[in-house]
Amino acid sequence: DGGITQSPKYLFRKEGQNVTLSCEQNLNHDAMYWYRQDPGQGLRLIYYSQIVNDFQKGDIAEGYSVSREKKESFPLTVTSAQKNPTAFYLCASSMRRQGFNQPQHFGDGTRLSIL
């Protein structure tokens, strides 16, 4: 079955550490996205990528970095510069079709906590 796989499901970070969250999709989607979800709040966009080797900052990119070397993969690194990293992180993907808004498909998320 096609889908989006995020790993790990739970991740713990020590102060001052960088950690990388994995996101892989086999839906052949061009566009991929990273969101952050805090309790009782909606999702906020961190980074997105429309094609391989290209990505743009979302609304809350500070303290995060991404890469898009392969169509299937869009890893997110939470750097030590992100002062409040504890959150639920969701990866999504969608087709790109000019003039149409295709729905985004989501993974099951990674919950990051600070030790």
Partner 1 sequence: GDSVTQMEGPVTLSEEAFLTINCTYTATGYPSLFWYVQYPGEGLQLLLKATKADDKGSNKGFEATYRKETTSFHLEKGSVQVSDSAVYFCALSLIQGAQKLVFGQGTRLTINP
Establish if 93 lies at the interface with partner 1 (CB under 8 A).
no
Closest separation between CB of residue 16 and partner 1, Å?
Answer: 29
Pairing of strands 54-57, 64-66: unpaired
Q: What's the DSSP call for residue 115?
A: -
Find the binding residues for partner 1 in span 23-52 (CB under 8 A).
Answer: 31, 33, 40-45, 48, 50
Contacts with 45 (C-beta within 8 Å, 6 or more apart), sequence order = 33, 34, 35, 58, 59, 60
Give the whole-angstrom CA distance, residue 78 versus residue 89. Answer: 10
In the list 27, 60, 80, 109, the residue contacting partner 1 (rule: CB under 8 A) is: 109
Closest separation between CB of residue 13 and partner 1, Å?
Answer: 20
Using CB under 8 A as the criterion, which residues of the chain lie in contact with partner 1 when the complex forms? 4, 6, 31, 33, 40-45, 48, 50, 56, 58, 90, 92, 94, 96, 99-109
